[in-house]
Amino acid sequence: MQDDERIIELIAKALDEPLTASEQAEVDQAIQNSLALRIAAEGLHEFDALLKRTGMALPDEGFPARFLLRLEAYERSRTRTQWLLTLGIIFLGSFAALAWLALNWNIFLDAIIFLTASLLLFIPLGLAILFTLVQAIGTGPLLIYALIVLALTLLWARVSGNWNPTRA
């Protein structure tokens, strides 16, 4: 297993830089002897080709720090006029939203009244259905309820994995 891991590492290394003659001979011998290593090598080569085709490149070591420094420099370079324009646009957008809300407050009022009326209707209706169901259950035959409980218990035992019937 350790040899296979080493061979896969060598195959991956060969994608970036040339191998020495002894390493290349070791990889060739291992690929000829193992179908799994041959498939792994083909997969690595296909993945490398896909990365090269799509033009994906990994950023170098200091990329995040350079990006943050450039962003901070941009923020510092903004003039007072740019900041005032940005704040003005934010203010105007907020003012427009509040004006729209003030002009259309009846939409929200209608929605609140509708939801309240719906709750006032559905709560008593739900309680009436619940009481009717409880009354029907209370007057039903006891044997049917016992069979339903037995079936639900067997179903629960089977689903939870606690019931495994053995075959004799």
The pLDDT of residue 1 is 55
For residue 117 the two structure tokens come to: 């009326």
Which tens digits make up the pLDDT trace of 77-108? 878 888 899 899 999 999 999 999 889 888 88
Task: Determine, yes or no, domain membership for 9.
Answer: yes
Three-state secondary-structure class, residue 41: helix
Q: Supply φ then ψ for residue 20, to 5 degrees.
A: -70, 165
**pTM greater than 0.85 (yes/no):** no
The pLDDT of residue 94 is 94
Mean pLDDT check: name the lowest of 51-60, 63-72, 116-125: 51-60
Number of helical (H) and strand (E) elements in the chain, helices listed first = 7, 0
CA distance linking residue 4 with residue 10, whole number of Å:
10
Task: Determine, yes or no, domain membership for 85.
Answer: yes
48 and 89 in a single domain? The answer is no
Task: Determine, yes or no, domain membership for 97.
Answer: yes
Ordered DSSP codes for 88-156: HHHHHHHHHHHHHHHHTHHHHHHHHHHHHHHHHHHHHHHHHHHHHHHHHHHHS-HHHHHHHHHHHHHHH
CA distance linking residue 156 with residue 143, whole number of Å:
20
Burial class (CB in 10 A: 0-12, 13-18, 19+), 101: exposed
Domain boundary at 36, 54, 72, which? 54
* Sole residue written with tokens 């929605």: 111
* Sole residue written with tokens 């033009």: 55
Domain boundary at 78, 103, 128, which? 103
Domain ranges, residue 77: 62-103
37 and 67 in a single domain? The answer is no
Neighbours of 41 (CB within 10 A): 21
**How many folded domains does the chain comprise?**
2
44 and 73 in a single domain? The answer is no
